[in-house]
Structure 1
Amino acid sequence: MRVMVIVKATNDSEAGALPSAQLMADMGAFNQKLIEAGIMLDGAGVKPTSKGARVALSGKDRTVTEGPFGNVGELVSGYWIWKVKDLDEAIDWVKRCPNPMPGPSTIEIRQLYEMEDFA
């Protein structure tokens, strides 16, 4: 199964604070382990919402709101796409992950739909 592993934003990530050189090295090593295990399909950090926009759709109407957006703990600051055998395996990998933020952080795991789910 494929999962999206979502790194939730913090005040630091929304302020545009870049990771330390040590954290970059630690995350690089973790990502290399994911690649070697055949788990990692994709992954990236995303810039703060101040660099983004939202488009609300209602019928034919489109409303654009430029960032930044509130509710920091509900925003995304990065993601991975992993191929794992089950949710437990994804949880085990996340437990091995370096903390991606200078302070407390949250990582959410969500299963992706596959074509067979729609059959």
Structure 2
Amino acid sequence: MRFMLLLKGDPPAPEDGEAITQPPEEVVGAMLKYNEDLAKAGVLLAAEGLYPSSAGARVVYKDGKRSVVDGPFAEAKELIAGFYLIQVRSKEEAIEWASRCPIEVAVPPGVEGVIEVRQVGETDELVNVTDEQRERDRRLREQIPGL
């Protein structure tokens, strides 16, 4: 079973005219140690941090039209600061790994740190998929490096 661990929040945005800020050395070190633990356990598939929403955009679809909205976005607690993709045997194991993530080094006092644990949907689990669609999905995945 694959699970995505979504680290909620928004990294600090740069001040006007400044370069995008980088995480402090202690945050990088703690997260690298966690990454190594996941890799040694053989469960890590991917792990990345994200730039602040001020450097991003949203493509919004409504009533048949698409529009682009540039960041930053409000409600930092609803944004994704980074993610892990892991492969484990159960939701409980995914929660255990999420509980080990050293988010306390990245979250200032008084700010809530959240890691959302979500199972990745697999085509084979879907009941409304034809055999042809399953085969197309399988062939596509064979072409994607790392899957």
- TM-score, shorter chain, exceeding 0.5: yes
Secondary structure at the residue paired with 2:72? coil
Unpaired stretches in structure 2, ≥5 consecutive residues: 15-20, 128-147
Q: Which has the larger radius of gyration?
A: 2
Q: Is the 8 A contact 1:14 1:72 kept in 2?
A: no
Query: Taking structure 1 as reference, are residues 89 and 68 closer, same or farther at Cα in structure 2, changes over 3 Å only?
Result: same
Unpaired stretches in structure 1, ≥5 consecutive residues: none
Percentage of pairs with the same residue: 34
1:70-109 alignment, distance < 5 Å? 70-99=74-103, 101-103=106-108, 104-109=112-117
Q: Is the 8 A contact 2:13 2:53 kept in 1?
A: no
CA-atom RMSD in angstroms: 1.6
Aligned pairs, number: 117
TM-score, structure 2 as length reference: 0.73
Structure scoring higher RCO (CA < 8 A, sep ≥ 6) equals: 1
TM-score, structure 1 as length reference: 0.88
Q: Is the 8 A contact 1:7 1:78 kept in 2?
A: yes
Distance 2:62 2:95 in 1: 37
1:1-16 alignment, distance < 5 Å? 1-10=1-10, 13-15=11-13
Alignment partner, residue 62 of structure 1:
66
Structure holding more strand per residue? 1
Distance 2:25 2:38 in 1: 20
